[in-house]
Every structure is written in structure tokens, then in C-alpha cells.
Amino acid sequence: MSALYRIRQFVQATGAWRQPVEADEVERYLPSAAVALFRAMPAYDRRHALKVLHTLQAQGHTDADLMAAALLHDVGKTVGCRHPLRLGHRVMVVLLRAWAPGVLERISRDGAEGWREPFYVQRHHAALGAELARRAGCTPRTVNLIESHESAPEEISDPLGRVLQAVDSVS
């Protein structure tokens, strides 16, 4: 992804708190405990999730598991973490990926604590979010779609997982 795209994504995220969330859409696709997870996410993550959902709908997708995964695919970045991934960390991740990927790799290893924990969360948010979704009563397929959305495309067995990944990468 280009730096210009990432800058646009950051600007959209900083204004997300001003945008309303469509509660009916969320409740249509998520069990009540999962709705609580969605609501616990920061406004910019909720806005991004809804953008992914709307893009999938515009493409003609109607699968309920895919829609639920769209809404919760990034829940592991912030919900249930001692040191959640904040907007500033996200900027640092983008910069480190571009200029010092080895540093990002080292600071996000398993067992990262303290100031390194948000980088661990970024690296493992798909698995963390999948576990949250499972505990909140989402279907096994929704959980799988969330868990695989950051995997290499050839490692994603469900075709809808590749669809979610593609839409997420441009939303």
C-alpha cells in the first residue's frame, strides 16, 4: 500500500468520532455479546469495519458470516488488551514496516510486554480477535474468517476469507 493511501486512511480515522454508527446493521449480523465487542472498539475501528461491510454489500455479498467478520475483523487490536493498539502505534507500525521491518519484527515477538505490547497486538490481532468473537458466540466460520484475514492469501482456505482480506486492504 502506498504512503498516500496510508495518510488518507489516517485522516479518515482521526475524524471517525464524528460519524454515527448504524446500530441496526451491526445487530443484524452479530449476536448480542458480539455487538458489545463492536461497540467497545474505538470509533475509527468501528467506522473502518462499517466501510468494509458496505463495500462487501456493494459488491453483492450477502453471506452473514462474512458480514459478521467484516464488523469484527479488527476487534483484537483494542478490545480486551492491557495495552491496546492506539492511533499513534498504528502510525509507528506503518513507518516501521516501510523503513525498519526487522525492528518491528523484534519488538512484536511473542511475550512482548510494556511499551512493546501494542506492537504484539498488531501482529497477532487476527488471532486475538477470533478468540474474542468465538467467546461472544460468533459462528465457527466467522471466527475462521477473522483469524485468517491477515494470513498470506495462499494460506486462506475459505474463498470469502480472500474477499474479506482484499476489501480490508483497500478500505
Rounded CA-CA distance 165/52 in Å is 10
Sequence letter at residue 45? D
Q: What is the pLDDT of residue 12?
A: 54
Q: How far is CA 11 from each of CA 15, 94, 129, 130, rounded to the nearest angstrom? A: 7, 14, 25, 28
Rounded CA-CA distance 82/59 in Å is 37
| Model confidence, pTM | 0.85
Say if CB 53 and CB 71 are below 8 A apart: yes
Q: Which residues contact 160 (CB under 8 A, 6 or more apart)?
A: 61, 63, 65, 66, 69, 145
Mean pLDDT for each 10-residue chunk of the chain (171 residues)? 53 49 83 96 93 97 98 96 88 93 90 88 95 98 98 96 96 87
Q: What is the pLDDT of residue 168?
A: 96
User: Where along the chain do its domains lie?
Assistant: 3-170
